[in-house]
Amino acid sequence: MIPFSVLIKKIFFFALFVMLNVLNEALNSGRLSPFEFALIDEWHRDVKSGRSDPAGYGILIPPTAESLPRFNVLRHEVYLRPIEVRNRLVEVQSKTGMDFYLPGKPWVNGKIKIGD
């Protein structure tokens, strides 16, 4: 017989798997924006790893120079611009006064800082 705590963990991870598939389907069908998906997924990754895995989208945790390629791969998978491109667009916005309606407010206002 399976211990109750193990059973609960299996149910939790199955529900999480189903939820991520539903979110991915919502992203692909246009019912969820790439930014909203990335925010949910980054939060999930941070909680699951206890903030020990430096992989995300640059919304909650800024990337380091070493982890930047990994961040950009994740961003590409959900149709978000690479961080460097987004930062250049923020520069153009501030110089010209144009508004590119970049996603992220209020989470990321301005450039995404890249750590050492």
Q: Where are the domains of the chain?
A: 1-32, 34-116
Integer-rounded Cα Rg, in Å, for the chain is 17
The structure's pTM equals 0.72
Q: How far from 43 is each of 57, 93, 97, CA to CA, in Å?
A: 10, 28, 32
Closest Cα to residue 54, out of 39, 32, 69, 36?
Answer: 69
Summarize pLDDT for 72-106 with one digit per residue, the tens: 999 999 889 999 999 999 999 999 999 888 877 76
| Better-scored residue on pLDDT, 33 or 27 | 33
pLDDT digits (tens, 9 = 90+) for 58-81: 988 889 999 999 999 999 998 899
